[in-house]
Amino acid sequence: MKKRQFAMLCLAVTLCLSACGKTDSEQQSASVPFGTYVYTYEDGSTSQITVDAHTFRIQNGDYSSCASFAIASRIFAASAEVKKEGLQLSDAEKNRIIDEANHFDFAAYDGLEVPYDLEELYGTDVNLNAKNENGEPIWGLGLTYYGDDRTIGFGDGYYVLQE
């Protein structure tokens, strides 16, 4: 399971890198089929993600990987920002980001409609970047739609579109 979490963490960093330099129109040209995506756990229980034009809703989700994704994404973004000024991100700032992500209650969003922005990736793959009520990113809570197999990646699982 640790190898899969590491792979998903690497994916999160790659996804952040892919967003660099894209215009708003490029980011909004992507699409995701609306509907309900389902993941079935080993014990037979399920988790669902419902996607519409402006929001997604996760029900019974596994949020255990969200903090790791948030940490990787935020540290990468913050490092890129300070690097523009020829600086490096301080250990204190990295620790603040880690502490904040580890104490954020991602599960509080379970069952709630979460607004998102689309971000086109490679081919038919698309990120659904979660936003809070102020329009700010909710680092670590985003989804990735994989167009080739019509699934959504979240946490440690792949949710299949129900047709």
What pLDDT is attached to residue 30?
65
Averaged pLDDT of the chain: 84
Q: What is the DSSP letter of 44?
A: S
Mean pLDDT of the 73-102 span = 93
Q: Looking at residues 115-129, what average pLDDT do you find? A: 93
The answer to whether the CB of 32 falls within 8 A of the CB of 128 is yes
pLDDT band at 16 (very low <50, low <70, confident <90, very high): very low
The beta strand positions in the chain, using DSSP E, are 35-40, 46-51, 55-59, 113-120, 126-130, 143-146, 151-154, 157-161
Q: Which residue has the tokens 């080993």?
A: 42
Q: Is the pLDDT of residue 11 over 70?
A: no
pLDDT of residue 38: 97
**Contact criterion met (CB below 8 Å) for 74 and 16:** no
pLDDT of residue 126: 94
Domain that holds residue 56: 2-161
Q: What span, in angstroms and rounded, lies between the C-alpha atoms of 45 and 40?
A: 6
Q: Is residue 93 within 8 Å of 163, Cβ to Cβ?
A: no
What pLDDT is attached to residue 148?
86
From the CA atom positions of the chain, what is the Rg in Å?
A: 16
152: Cβ–Cβ under 8 A, 6 or more apart, which residues?
32, 37, 49, 51, 128, 143, 144, 145, 146, 158, 159, 161
- Per cent of the chain over pLDDT 90 is 72
- Calculate what percentage of the chain has a pLDDT beyond 70: 82
Task: Indicate the pLDDT class of residue 108, thresholds 50, 70 and 90.
Answer: very high
Into how many domains does the chain fold? 1
Question: For the segment 29-86, what is each residue's pLDDT rounded down to a tens digit?
Answer: 468 999 999 999 999 999 999 999 999 999 999 999 999 999 999 999 999 998 999 9
